[in-house]
Amino acid sequence: FLIRQLLTCEALCLSHSRGLTSIAGGKIKRFYKQAHVTKSGPGAYEINLDQRRLRTPGGQPFVVPHEGLALAVVQEWNSQVNHIDRTRMHLTSLCNSAIDNPLGLSRDQQAAALLEYLETDTLLFWSTEPEDLHQLQRQRWQPVLDSVNQQYSLRLAPTLTLQPPQIDGEGLKKFRARLASLNSWGVSGVRFAAESLKSCLLAVCLLDRRLPVSEACSLSRLESQFQADKWGQVEWHHGVDATELECRVSAGTLLALVSHDWREVQLAGAAATATSRQGK
């Protein structure tokens, strides 16, 4: 299932990036023939453009901890045609931020910032009218809330006002522990997805592989799509918005999944080594 999820995220990100290139500005001419991956050490994969090592905006070597992530970034660079459109290269941008950490935030600080999104989480703010929108929110959002509440022993309930919902701090222990289990790369990916979806809950559902990216994006855009269906829409504009959202969320989810999977392999390897040494 993990492999299918990763391939889906990668395919979405790459196909959407190609589709949006023609309408994006701020591009520079492609100056390389081929991007490729070089393993530079244990759990270290660097990106090269021809024979030149790719560097981050901060001047550091562009090195990622997972081969699958490196290959996805390489495809992002190789998918550029005549010009490089960095505004659509979300995986590259995410990795740059994770490596440079321009704000100097620790992993725990990033995880704490993620928790703050709960107070304004899209899934917790329901409309009272029109009635058909309220019923649609109940139909589409309530099952997600029920699932998250059950898995993490939470008691999250939606609010019908502009006041933030009541969130039991004591009940967040399990949810907080889930975020704390991520490495800095994983936290960066989940945070990017949460910012894009305006929902920490949906981002964590993606991390737990409970939802596909397309469904998470549909749930995030539920109200705007309802209004568009009712009053009409500028087809091109709404199509771009939806496509861009899926592209961003796909990139964040891919980074989170491969980073979390890589960390679990590391921990399993360390445990096996420790057990072997004890046996001796």
Phi, psi of 164 (to 5 degrees): -60, 145
SS3 content of the chain, % helix, strand, coil (to 5): 65, 10, 25
pLDDT tops 80 at residue 263: no
Question: Has residue 54 been placed in a domain?
Answer: no
Of the candidates 20, 8, 179, the residue with the CA atom closest to the CA atom of residue 90: 20
pLDDT band, residue 166 (cuts 50/70/90): confident
The residue count of the chain comes to 280
> Is pTM, for the whole model, over 0.95?
no
Question: Has residue 236 been placed in a domain?
Answer: yes
pLDDT tops 90 at residue 252: yes
Question: Has residue 136 been placed in a domain?
Answer: yes
Question: Has residue 57 been placed in a domain?
Answer: no
74-85, pLDDT tens digit by residue?
A: 999 998 889 898
Q: What amino acid occupies position 242?
A: A
pLDDT tops 90 at residue 152: yes
Omega within 30 of 0 (cis) for the link into 130? yes
Q: What amino acid occupies position 137?
A: Q
- 166 secondary structure, DSSP code: P
Give 203 or 104, the one with higher predicted confidence: 203
Give 278 or 85, the one with higher predicted confidence: 85
pLDDT tops 60 at residue 234: no
Q: CATH number of the domain that 228 lies in?
A: 1.10.3580.10
Question: Has residue 67 been placed in a domain?
Answer: no
The total number of structural domains that make up the chain: 1
pLDDT tops 50 at residue 269: no
State the chain's mean pLDDT as an integer. Answer: 83
Question: Has residue 81 been placed in a domain?
Answer: no
Residue span of the structural domain in which 172 resides:
107-279
What H or E segment, with its residue span, contains residue 131? Answer: helix 131-152
Alpha-carbon dihedral sign for residues 106, 183, 175, 135: positive
Question: Has residue 53 been placed in a domain?
Answer: no
Question: Has residue 137 been placed in a domain?
Answer: yes
23-32, pLDDT tens digit by residue?
A: 444 568 999 9
Strand residue runs (E) in 81-173? 83-84
Q: What amino acid occupies position 267?
A: L
